Structure 1
């Protein structure tokens, strides 16, 4: 399946699942409160499939899978016969209306917990947060090759992914950040990253590289450039064990060792592990021009980091782990939203359907646990975004009902109409910004 069609497919699967759960939350609580539901739609636009249920609800799957809705009987929208007014949404007590509106985001929150429980049950493979090389500000802070990151600030770190998220947040906050590490010798040290330094250029989307931290990637060949020194010698999947008898433990060691050992008419002996066997190969590196000047190269690209950390729990232990992870993710998402509102974080962090589709496809290609994790993050984001106090979103409706609770009467029609227009403008602006960011990412 091509990347384009794969991205489209996984976008439809992801949004279809999350929207269905969201709308089912509204539907289920509305039915429990005695409200007549006229239509349950997954997607917008022209119906692709529809069926009238025994309960009188029309179930629809529509052409545009970027949302959905539950249409309830409401006197503000249609003429309601006197004998059905007791089933109208607007006739229900404000407490029931609050419950119906809040049920959609709550369904996404519960789905997030369930997805994370399944992820821990399956087991999510990741990489250990080990440092391969430190340069720039990380080297100044004392980071050494082989350091394993244990905590960033107060946040405990188990994997390379968690380290990336924590360091990205620290890069946004621009405060001195303590990083607790376990050294190669087994001792623990605290390195202080001076992220408040004036003029320090940090890329919150690429925290490791902008901080000068290079993860410890294994010396495994992913690709051999045609016509290069390694062409016909090394193969994808080869693990480089030694150069001229000197052991190679991480990919980051390879370049400096090449510069030290290579020379004109001086072939190197490269020891590799291939299909469980050790093979010794003579290779003559070539001197090529790079952005940093001339350098000796073999012509090979590194494979992705090893999946040497597995987040897995049994059925019972996965429950508190899923709840804890949901809480951590909630703090991350709400914290990022607040940083964007206050201007600390770039609005480039807002993503639209194109980026979501690409990430969905990439997560699915990494395996079921990664896709479950992606769905959990997306479900939680849908929950939080819908709770924002923006008219036309669930949070906007909840705000109206809370005002009604305080003042003892519903919000006036003029206020509702003005809120609808403001909400549409805000939502259109957010969607436009999201699409703009998506297009910029396509070109990067």
Structure 2
């Protein structure tokens, strides 16, 4: 219940911010272009709060917080609605439809542009505050990553041309290359600080791998995801009973260094198959000890036999973050513009992959449930993380509204650009047909988003 309420709250807050900025862009430019604004509404449906300003505009917060609108004076609408008296010439001059086409273009484009500007501002805030993250250090490698020559302890400094100061940057940089099955160069440093370049052959990825699990399929496990090789409990009457103790940090088995709990199992199996005793090195209360031990055969629930010491790992929460993505206020300005540009290119690339079938639409189009859960998860990690997802949502909203689909801002811009070229407005019949097409497209997109929400979040 707490997660549900938190997700709903952050969805409402996020949509409120994004819609307010978007509609304010339309509002501000319309007023500067001499258009009378009748209503500025955040949300749809029944007004929960309304106030009429001295400028004559109704400012409204409505019951359904899934959008908003700016209602401007329009001559055609005035005559359709009728009235007790004919509008005066001065009032007609403030109508949207009487403004030159370049002013109408500016008013319509102002909403998406406001979202794009907000995206840059939010990234700037994220960089200045500083986003806590994990260092881009490799913990364990297998499959493609191991074949490429990556080693535990390597720090990934760049993926292709993109710098990767944190593990999140590594993930975001590797995902597009994985989706495109494109080989990519990694600039890495080993534990001693020696740099080298490693080519990761992502062309060998299977065709049907889960895009959401790309990093694991590649064979990369970050250092922070590893469980420390600390003994949590020693099982009575088994191999380690009376030898190891709770809290021991296992550092080596038979001379082989142990970096995490994952390293223990394979080494124990080797010891058991070899037979005899071996030395296990541990740290206990600040002292380094070398203890003699001999694994014993154990039987799993499925009947499979394996060699075991008889120890379990302690319960472990989330590892503390050990990296910080931060810039000074001045440095953050170009960094914010660069990040917004990079994310915009990646968004268009992802749309292209969805249309060409290189990525499933299920993982491309997100509905309100997915967005709500994501914003709640990001907000739970701190203000900088929340600003980062809010920036991405603002960017997505701005670009979505610029698509040339009727009923969206981009569709209106298309009509006005045609008018600019041909010298006369698009006919009402064409505009009406476009509205139906636009409604069908948006309805289909919303249906797909809700379907993806159900599949990804509600079906176990």
TM range (shorter): 0.7 to 0.9
Superposition map of 1:154-193 within 5 A: 154-193=161-200
How far residue 359 of structure 1 moved from its aligned partner, in angstroms, is 0.5
Contact 1:146 1:184 in 2 (8 A): yes
Contact 1:169 1:204 (8 Å CA) reproduced: no
Q: SS in structure 2 opposite 1:202?
A: coil
Q: CA offsets per residue over residues 113-136 of structure 1, 9 Å max, x none?
A: 111111111110111222111111
Residue 93 (structure 1) shift? 0.5
Q: What's 2:82 paired with?
A: none
Residues 160 and 184, structure 2, Cα contact 8 Å, conserved in 1: yes
Say whether residues 1:99 and 2:106 are aligned partners. yes
Matched, 1:426 2:438: no
Residue 45 of structure 2 is matched in structure 1 by 45
Q: Does 1:25 align with 2:25?
A: yes
Equivalent residue in structure 1 for 2:346, among 332, 350, 353: 332
Cα separation, partners in 2 of 1:166 and 1:202, compared to 1, 3 Å: farther
**Contact in 1 for aligned 2:136/2:167 (Cα 8 Å):** yes
Using the TM superposition, give the Cα deviation of residue 193 of structure 1 relative to its aligned residue in structure 2, in angstroms: 2.5
Cα deviation code 1:42-97 (max 9, x no counterpart): 11112111111111111111111111111111123232713311011111111001
In the TM superposition, what is the alpha-carbon distance from 1:401 to its structure 2 partner? 0.8
Q: Which residue of 1 aligns with 2:83?
A: none
* 1:435 alignment partner in structure 2: 450
Please, which moves more after superposition, 357-366 or 203-212? Answer: 203-212
Ranges in structure 2 where 5+ consecutive residues have no aligned partner: 80-85
Contact 2:48 2:63 in 1 (8 A): yes
* Distance verdict in 2 for CA 1:187–1:202, change over 3 Å: farther
1:146 to 153, 160, 175: 153
User: How far apart, CA to CA, are the structure 2 residues paired with 1:239 and 1:218?
Assistant: 20
Alignment match, 2:300: 289
1:119 matched to 2:126: yes
Deviates more, 1:3-12 or 1:106-115: 106-115
CA drift at 1:151: 2.1
C-alpha distance in structure 2 between counterparts of 1:441 and 1:323, whole Å: 33
Q: For 2:35, what is the secondary structure of its paired residue?
A: coil
CA distance in 2, matches of 1:128, 1:219: 13
Q: Distance in 2 between matches of 1:350 and 1:92?
A: 37
- Paired residue secondary structure (1:146): coil
Label 1:258 to 1:428 Cα distance change in 2 as closer, same or farther (>3 A).
farther
Equivalent in the alignment of 1:63: 63
Kept in 1, the 8 Å contact 2:233–2:245? The answer is: no
* Alpha carbons of structure 1 residues 288 and 333: separation in structure 2 relative to 1, 3 Å: farther
Secondary structure at the residue paired with 1:162? Answer: helix
1:173-207 CA-to-partner distances (Å, cap 9, x unmatched) read 11222222222342223222322238454322112
Match of 1:213 in 2: 220
CA gap of 1:293–1:129, structure 2 versus 1, over 3 A, is farther
Question: Is 1:286–1:298's contact at 8 Å kept on the other side of the alignment?
Answer: no
The residue that corresponds to 2:410 in the other structure is: 395
Q: How far 1:225 moved relative to its partner?
A: 10
Counterpart secondary structure, 1:416: helix
- The higher radius of gyration belongs to 2
Alignment partner, residue 88 of structure 2: 82
Worse overlay, 28-37 or 124-133: 124-133
Matched residues in 1 for 2:124 and 2:250: separation? 39
- When structure 1 is superposed on structure 2, of 252-261 and 181-190 the one drifting more is 252-261
CA contact (8 A) 1:168 1:206 kept: no
| Deviations 1:260-283 (CA, angstroms, capped at 9, x unpaired) | 6799xx9x897579xxx9999x9x
Indicate yes or no: 2:268 matched with 1:253: no
Partner of 1:9: 9
Q: Which deviates the most, 195-204 or 124-133?
A: 195-204
Q: Structure 1 regions of 5+ residues with no counterpart?
A: none
Deviates more, 1:241-250 or 1:332-341: 241-250
1:205 aligned counterpart, secondary structure: helix
The secondary structure found in structure 2 opposite 1:78 is: helix
Tell which deviates more after alignment, 36-45 or 140-149: 140-149
Aligned to 1:316: 330
Matched residues in 1 for 2:414 and 2:13: separation? 31
Is the Cα–Cα contact under 8 Å of residues 281 and 288 in structure 2 kept in the other structure?
Answer: no
Q: RMSD in angstroms over aligned alpha carbons?
A: 3.6
Q: For this pair of structures, how many residues does the alignment match?
A: 436
2-side partners of 1:431 and 1:225: how far apart? 49
